[in-house]
Structure 1
């Protein structure tokens, strides 16, 4: 094995085009660490927000971008007992958020800590989760695609009020968290409603098992359409990706004792009005901020997926090259994706 590797770093002032390759040493491991060969990295909207200076939390200049990776253990520290050479592994997004309630701060990979856009990464053995990669199973690209979005969706459904069979879920959009939410909700026995401005994307999510779809351009008052679909009852869970531009309609169509999981801030428009708090009080609904998930929640998701016959939607795979990485970022930035976009180190 070579002693050097290709590592990409981000010069934030230059935007997406500021992602550049460097040759750096492959670091050595301590007795409690492992060396992982990266096979696949998946992108989140968070990665695009960091690269375009739209991220709401701290980000370090010249950081190695991205947090979501699936790779193979190629070297094991002398005191590591839970992993072996050849194991396929994924890390959580935040290495210090392992169990329990969310702890404020942002020491996640790809923003403050160097991330995964490189050939090899040294990681503490205790943060890694083993997954099964092979024929008839999810591959490196699929496992990389569930790290952040899957843990976020799982946290939304099981970190607060737990999703139950027969519940109705409304999911905004068709990005990574949305598709992960659809997959989990369907496998858990829920009725699913998903929205998009694209009939083509809605046709695709119907093929993934969505029970109902709503085009929010055709139905700008989409809360009324959700009420029509649910016979006036509303929905038990909402995956809220829009922020101020959508929260009032989410509050309008949440059912009694329902929960709105606030994931993103993608929609434009909307004014901050105290009046939006009134339906929360009337319906005893919960509006809950969700920032990813813990290692424990990711482990629960891995176990759940291992017992279900599900597909993880990988929309497009790009190569591990300057051109491929920039194209992947711009593809996600343009909103062309449905589900996940992956950079594969096996696709050269």
Structure 2
């Protein structure tokens, strides 16, 4: 039987082991598709799964990583709409085809095996085809899966973003830069925060952000945001969590949307803002974003392809064990502006 290379994660925690092993090449049922993985995009989720702090179910000895893109090499007998040679990506949650995610038990790279491997068998229902005329690399395609849908869900999953509105992004990671690209393409005014002037300059030059705020230079960054948008910001992609949501609520407009995506900055209990009072006072919508459905992924792909957008790949590593470790370490370092990826091409 033919074999392929697979990475499996064991001993989750500070001394986790990410080991490359050889396993039988997957076989498919009549409703499945076999995909040769060509590009993988890492997420902060992959780091917390490895270090043992992910708060949701994880399969033992899991194949990590949720975001992969590749080429169809075999199609089940009952599959329609996909053929050999198609470029595809798989939705983050294998069961979330539309609407709200119902459980935490079907996310690739956590409760079920992910894409850090040469070949993967997927139910045809979870796959989205990327038109070849899009001319995206496989790593850029992979970056649409979790990061792209998270940003799209934040901007279009509830109250849709409108041209001329203002969007604030916290930090320069993949979700923020992807959201920035999407928001600018939709005609929004964009603001991004960071503690690094060099990163802010890079985002200004490379991605054309309209306004930047260094939150170390301006610890009360909400006041700076209100100088840019005196009536308040319409959308905020909240990556900090309890340590930043107080200021997000201070600068959100009446009826604005705060999409809670990350928990990177924790507040001490005694420093917690009065979130309920601030939400009520601003009539704000505060949404927890759990990536999104295949329907949202399809909407995102149509938007990106129609406008010829390129996903922000910061750095790409190889598939060899030392390269994969370097990719994880680079993401862990926080040095990136955009996505950290692994290529099998």
The CA deviation string for residues 223-246 of structure 1, in whole angstroms up to 9 with x for no partner, is: 01001111x211000000000110
User: What is the CA–CA distance in structure 2 between the aligned matches of 1:123 and 1:104, rounded to whole Å?
Assistant: 19
Q: CA deviation at 1:311?
A: 2.2
Partner Cα separation in structure 2 for residue 58 and residue 211 of structure 1: 40
**Which of 139, 153, 156 is 1:155 aligned to?**
153
Paired with 2:46 and 2:15, the residues of 1 have a C-alpha distance of 10
Is 1:123 aligned to residue 125 of structure 2?
no
1:214-266 per-residue CA deviation (whole Å, 9 max, x = no partner) reads: 01111111001001111x21100000000011010000000010010000001
Aligned to 1:181: 179
Structure 2 partner of 1:57: 56
Task: String of CA shifts for 1:21-70, please: whole Å, max 9, x gaps.
Answer: 11100121111111100000000000001001121212122100000000
Per the TM alignment, residue 133 of structure 1 is displaced from its structure 2 partner at its CA by: 3.6
What do residues 308-338 of structure 1 show as CA deviations (whole Å, max 9, x unaligned)? 0322110000000111111101111110111
Match of 2:163 in 1: 165
CA distance in 2: counterparts of 1:270 and 1:17, whole angstroms: 29
Check the 8 A contact 1:168/1:192 in 2, yes or no: yes
- Matched with 1:143 is 141
Deviates more, 1:262-271 or 1:201-210: 262-271
The alignment's TM-score, normalised by the length of structure 1, stands at: 0.95
Q: Structure 2: where are the runs of 5+ without partners? A: none
Deviation of residue 181 (structure 1)? 0.6
After the TM superposition, which segments of 4 or more aligned residues of structure 1 sit over 6 Å from their partners? none
Q: How many angstroms apart in 1 are the aligned matches of 2:294 and 2:173?
A: 22
Q: Provide the alpha-carbon RMSD of the alignment.
A: 1.4
8 Å Cα contact 1:16/1:48 also seen in 2: no
SS in 2 for 1:267: coil
What is the rounded CA distance, in whole Å, between the counterparts of 2:298 and 2:37 in structure 1? 20
SS, match of residue 303 in structure 2 = helix
Secondary structure in structure 1 of the residue aligned to 2:203: helix
Q: List per-residue Cα deviations over 1:112-164 (Å, max 9, x = no partner).
A: 10000000001111110000246x72111111111101000111111111100
Look up the match of 1:296.
295
Q: Structure 1: any 5+ residue segments left out of the alignment?
A: none
Cα 1:146–1:8 change in 2 (3 A) is same
Q: Tell me if structure 2 keeps the 8 A contact 1:169–1:191.
A: yes
Q: What pairs up with 1:208-223 in 2 under 5 angstroms?
A: 208-223=207-222
Equivalent position of 1:323 in the other structure:
322
In the alignment, what sits opposite 1:8? 7
Q: Is the 8 A contact 1:17 1:326 kept in 2?
A: no
**Alignment partner of 2:73: what SS?**
strand
